[in-house]
Each structure stands twice: as C-alpha cells, then as structure tokens.
Amino acid sequence: MKSTRSQLKNRGMASPEEIAACASLPWEQLVEELRSPDPCRRTAAARCMDPKSKAAAVLLLEQLAQEKCLYTRLAICETLEKGTEETAEKMLPWLGRIGNNQYKALPDKVSAKKSFPLPRDLIARSLARMDTAFFPLLLQLFNTGSEQQISEALDAAGFMAFYHPALATGENAERILHLLHSHSGSEIIVWKVLLCLSAFPVPEAVRILEGYAVRDDIFGKEAQRSLHLVERKAFTPH
C-alpha cells in the first residue's frame, strides 16, 4: 500500500523546496533546523550540511543517535558518507551504538544473498559506502576497538572489500584472520570473520574456511557459503 504524502512527511521526507530553502542558511540556523521538531526540516538541514565539516559530523552523529524518522536518518547517513577521513574517524566510536538491528546472538541460518550482505548497523553501513582510502581505519580498529565495535567493523570491511577487489589482499586478510585468535572466545566475532572472508579469494582465507566448512553448525554453514562466494570471485574477471 502506497504511503500518503502526510505519512511520508511524518517520516521526514523533505520536499525539494524545503531542501532548497535550507541551502543558503548560515551555520547557526542549520544547527537549529537539525534540532527542529519538524522531521522534514531536520532532513533538509542534514542534506545541506557540509560533509567535510568536522563540526557537522559531530552534530549529525549526535542527531542520528536519537533520530527516529526514516528519511531523516537516511539523509544524515548520506551526508556522513560523503565525508573525509576525519569524518570516518568520528564515526568509529558509534559502531554498534545506534539502533537495535545488530546481531546480538548467532543467527539460525546463513544469508541467502549471492553477494555480501548489507551491514545491519547504521554506522557500519555508512562506513562501508565511504571512500576506500579509509579502509585502513577499519583494520586499525581491529587492534584497538571494543568487541561490539569490531563486530560491526567486520561487516563494513567485508562489504567494502567484496565490492572493491583491490582491498581483498592477503595482507588485509591476515589482519582479519588474526581476530580468530585474539577474539576466539566471541562466537559473534568468529562467525563475522567467516562471513567477512567471503570477500577474500586468497589462499590463507580459503584454508581457514575449508577447516571450518566440515563442521555441522552455523560456523560450518557460513564457511561453506563464503567458500562458494570466494570461488565465484576467483573465476570472475574484474
């Protein structure tokens, strides 16, 4: 059933006119609009903020953490995705902290998708869509982040590497494989590593996946799925 214009406005879908009206506003007024009780005005402000501004990144992330309206959330994420490396750095601490769509326990079955699944965490999803030059930030987080941050960063790293094969190197795979040792006690991280390895058609990743693939549990099923995707990538010209 198609949503009415009123329903769309309640979800924060701003009109082109509302966005245009925000485009020339000074910074102080944009900040006020981002905090407006009207979700369409918040959306318009988010779309008009400079994605390369450090101050804007901070405000957008704070607003995203409390934002309930779908289109406003989308607008904030899309602006953040156009940001700089500093923007990405400011996003990392928010991994796993916004929304409730993250995996808290192992799934009952693997994804039916024939590609890398879109990250469920909002920040991970946006990081995955950013410039590939920021990929090393995700690798660094694997050494310094909390278990929750690492879990979501694995989704972002896997998604980015899957769609940008130049990132799917043996060296990068080793950084991810190290998590099987450093976080061996976390079932979620072990499972996420096996999922992430579907982006890496390199010998060491294949060896690890083959070791898990003989198991009759979710780890075995995920390893089998990843091996299938790796085989497809290995024989598909890029």
Tens digits of residue pLDDT in 36-69: 999 999 999 999 999 999 999 999 999 999 999 9
Nearest to residue 170, comparing CAs of 128, 199, 135?
Answer: 199
Q: Going residue by residue through the chain, which has 238 residues, state the pLDDT in tens, using 9 for 90 and above.
A: 788 989 999 999 999 999 999 999 999 999 999 999 999 999 999 999 999 999 999 999 999 999 999 999 999 999 999 999 999 999 999 999 999 999 999 999 999 989 999 999 999 999 999 999 999 999 999 999 999 999 999 999 999 999 999 999 999 999 999 999 999 999 999 999 999 999 999 999 999 999 999 999 999 999 999 999 999 877 555 4
Domain ranges, ordered by start, for the chain: 5-83, 122-234
Q: What is the pTM of this model?
A: 0.94
**Buried b / exposed e along 189-205 (16+ C-beta atoms within 10 A):** bbbbbbbbbbbbbbeeb
Within the chain, where are the H helices? 5-10, 16-23, 27-34, 39-48, 54-66, 70-81, 85-91, 122-128, 135-144, 147-163, 170-177, 179-182, 187-196, 203-213, 218-234
Read off the tokens for 126: 């946006």
Residue 227 and residue 221: Cα distance in Å, rounded?
10
Q: Which amino acid is at 45?
A: A
